[in-house]
Homo-oligomer: A and B are copies of this chain.
Amino acid sequence: MPDPVVFSGGTVGAWNVTRVAAVRGAALATVARIDKGVRPVADAAWVLSGVTSNLRYTNTAEKRVLDATPSVLGRPAATRAALIPITKSAAWWALAQDERRAVLEEQSRHIAIGSEYLAAVSRQLVHCRDQPGAVFDFLTWFEFAPADEPRFDELLAKLRASPEWRFVEREVDLRLEKAA
């Protein structure tokens, strides 16, 4: 079943915000902390919510690779995180399924590139385009150990240089550190 995931930006929560970068389009209001839960916290400066959902592009062979290294959230060593909300363009969403798949994987190797980092980077894809009033299409969440942040940046650099990213209209990159 789809599970709700809610990010509340404000003064409470398990994650301290260390950096906010507007990669493309407008940033989000600067906040001190982020709470990640199943409902909004009171008095949040902003709330971003969505649901985990079924796979949209991953084929059988690719799923086998992902299933072999399941993403475990909350690992004690993973004291760094990134929340990267993304909006894709109307042109992306107007494409047929096979056209989107071709850009995402055959041209951009999105799934293949991500698979190289499965052991170091735990991740969760939250869908929000179909939520009423949503301003982002996806809320992507990553957890990693401090020593793995350079590898995570390498992963992002590869994806941002790919043809798929020509369809990204807004992207905010928030870096986080587990609160003591």
Contacts and interface: CB of A to CB of B under 8 A. Distances in A.
A114 to B, nearest CB: 15
B130 A59 contact: no
Number of this chain's copies in the assembly equals: 2
A113 to B, nearest CB: 18
Contact of A97 (B56, B94, B130): B56
Contacts of A130: 2, 50-51, 53, 127, 130-131
A60 B2 contact: no
A167 to B, nearest CB: 12
Given A130-B51, A130-B130, A131-B130, A57 B2 contact: no
A54 B93 contact: yes
